[in-house]
A and B are shown apart, each in its own frame.
Chain A
Amino acid sequence: MEAATGHAAPMTTGPSGQTCGIARTELLDVRSLSVAFRTPHGDLPVIRDICFTVAAGERVGIVGESGCGKTVTGLTVLRLLPERSLRLSGRIIFGGRDLLTLSARQMRALRGCEIAMIFQDPTSALDPVFTIGDQIGEAYRAHFPTTRKEARERAIAALASVGIPAPERRCDDYPHHLSGGMRQRVMIAMALICEPKLLIADEPTTALDVTVQAQIIELLSRLSERMKTTLIFITHDLGVVAEICTRMITMYAGEIVEDAPVDDVLVTPRHPYTAGLLRSLPGLAARRSALPSIPGRVPQLGQMPKGCRFQPRCQHALARCAKPQTLSEFSASHHVRCTRAREITLAGVVTV
């Protein structure tokens, strides 16, 4: 384990106690996952030492700015990235098995059945030449051999369950007949048809209007509750996380910097980056006042600071921040990658 993290960080109570430990019965346990893309100019590390667990029934949000590695994390769990061009290390324990050790064939059997994923852009995920009924039916038949007739009936029921009106008729529509919101409902129907244990939703509402987003969030919450589906919800919208998730994982520059229950982190963030994100939400500042922002930019891939990756932008930085930081236990349910977490008080979305 320690070896896999790839740096000589002191192993305090932190990662081993929490994320990489044994405590709860976890559905998913991601341990020191690192991914680098191989390029002609050498490896480009994109995520590093990702540790988190998801218990059955939990709804975990992964947030962070564009390029921080949210999608890569989700795709890696499903092993959907082109593995020949990757350098992968760590473990992804799902239902007692390490997914990184499974064959391509075993992964195919699992994907769509036990773990499913929904993407931001439903247009590219749906095949334009098949009806939506066929596509949902096939998603079912891929894992549960059955007649076309039964698959179609299941597809109709699935369309009805995601609130598509006249599903018997809509079943024969092609994707381009549907609006963006309807296509996202179809994606959800397809993802949930085999009743997966885990659903990874990557920005499923980002392209939608707030009114339709509200419908989709409500639908996902309702279905995941009813079917006891565990949810990983990737987004950059902290409001959406507050609405739907029980826990929030904040990523910065390829690392997890904070992992805590949503209500906890919104009120008392412990990492300066999370606090900066919360502070820059326009809804919180007085109208027409200057909005606080995080100075500077995310460092380029391959040019990461050796120590805390947030250090160049952090107003709380001290000399000791130049050492690599570990994701450590702040409290039983709250983990932070910041050496100063206990010394500094950060404002959240409400003043307490």
Chain B
Amino acid sequence: MTAISHSTPTTAERPIISVRDLRVLFRTPGGKDPIRAVDGVDFDVQPGETLGIIGESGSGKTSLGRALVSLITPDSGQILHDGLDPTTLRGARFRAHRRDYQIIFQDPSAALDPRMTVLDSVAEPLAIVRAADDAARRREALAMLARVGLPRDLAERYPHQLSGGQKQRVNIARALMLRPKVIVCDEVVAALDVSLRGEILNLFADLQRAFGLTYIFITHDIAVVSHISDRIAVIYLGKLMELGAADAVMGEPLHPYTQALLSAEPLALPAALRPKRRIMLEGEVPNPAAPPSGCRFRTRCPVARPRCASEAPLWREVTPGHSVACHFAEVAGRPQRDAILSTSMQK
């Protein structure tokens, strides 16, 4: 794939982000092998969609998210932004380009400067790129604060005078000031209570409609990801296990890991309505510096076979728009899940 000029208009055919064989490694002082945080990942993001990324702690979600917005440089592979490779840009062009790709993090307090008022924090991105004059920046910041549902009188407050939900709204307003095309949302509602969580998720949906935003929504909360995503990617130890339409991944997961993850979610349902059987995964996520050979899920996979240790499963489209990395994905979802459930019941 070659870089295409930035001025070409975005069409539904051209992904707004294209990821090819992406690797992000971390070298730690003591360890001889690098941590393989993201270890060969391929996917596309279409303009205007919400792609959910789900996986356990340490699976590489944040590393992937940071790479997507050029906050870390990939060790190998490529990320194209609307056909353009941002690593080829320098100086002012790079900074201008990055405005289109923003990220919002989990902890709303850590992201805000405690010495700056809400209004200054929100206006700051414009000041950094030297857009508009002071008064115009203030006007825009106030309009954006109103847009994310913050009352006018909060503008002069400092972060410590805000609730968690209010702080997260300030962060969202700040990210929107540069009118990005894409926002990576990294666990943005994890720290919020259920009732607030709904409000913020609704706000994200409204803003997407209003500004035509594309979201990469990173979370480990299955209910949240399933609610807001058009498509869902499941990541384990730096590799994608499954990617498909939200309904397909949630309703008919094809990968044993997805099946286990979904069945582990505690449901607020009365006993009579709760599924009786659960796929219980043994142990925890292995060391990402030395992932298992073959399929990296094999050490916890309830249906692993000898082939899984010797041969890494191919990442392939099993049905149109639904990709899976498991040797036995074609065996189809339900029979396979039932096989897992009956084997785990026998124990």
A residues near B, CB below 8 A? 65-66, 179-182, 209-215, 217-218, 236-243, 262-263, 266-267, 276-278, 280-283, 285, 287-288, 290-294, 297, 349-350
| Minimal beta-carbon separation of A52 from chain B (angstroms) | 21
Residues of A close to B281: CB separation below 8 A: 211, 214-215
B residues contacting A by CB (< 8 A) are 56-57, 163-164, 193-199, 201-202, 205, 220-224, 226-228, 246-247, 260-261, 264-274, 278, 280-281, 284-285
> A236–B268 contact, CB under 8 A?
no
Q: A276-B195, A280-B198 are in contact. Are A239 and B278 (CB under 8 A)?
A: no
Q: Are B220 and A282 in contact (CB under 8 A)?
A: no
Q: Which of A262, A277, A278, A287 is the most central at the interface, judged by chain B CB atoms within 10 Å of its CB?
A: A287
Contact B280 A214 (CB under 8 A): yes
A-B contact pairs, 16 of them (CB 8 A): A65-B193, A209-B56, A211-B264, A218-B280, A236-B193, A237-B266, A242-B266, A242-B274, A266-B268, A266-B269, A278-B268, A282-B223, A283-B227, A288-B227, A290-B205, A297-B163
Note all chain A residues with C-beta closer than 8 A to B195: 65, 276-277, 280, 293-294
Chain A nearest CB, measured from B141 CB (Å): 23
- Enumerate chain B residues within 8 angstroms of A243, measured Cβ to Cβ: 266-267, 274
Judge whether B227 and A282 touch: CB under 8 Å: yes
In the complex, are the beta carbons of A293 and B196 less than 8 A apart? yes
Whether the pair B268, A211 counts as a contact (CB closer than 8 A) is no
A64 nearest CB neighbor, chain B only: B193
Would you give the shortest CB distance from A182 to chain B, in whole angstroms? 8
Interface pairs A-B: 6 shortest CB-CB: A239-B266, A291-B198, A293-B198, A263-B270, A283-B223, A238-B268
Overall SS of chain B's interface: helix
- Check if A211 sits within 8 Å of B56, measured CB to CB: yes
The CA of A192 and the CA of B116, in the complex, are separated in Å by 48
- Which of B202, B247, B268, B284 is within 8 Å of A290, CB to CB? B202
A288 cross-chain contacts in B, Cβ below 8 A: 205, 227-228
Question: Would you give the shortest CB distance from A253 to chain B, in whole angstroms?
Answer: 13
| Known contacts A236-B194, A283-B226, A241 near B268 by CB under 8 Å | yes
Nearest B residue to A290 by beta-carbon distance? B202
B167 → chain A closest CB, angstroms: 13
Check B198 against A287 for contact (C-beta < 8 Å). no
What are the residues of chain B within 8 A of A213 when measuring CB–CB? 264, 266
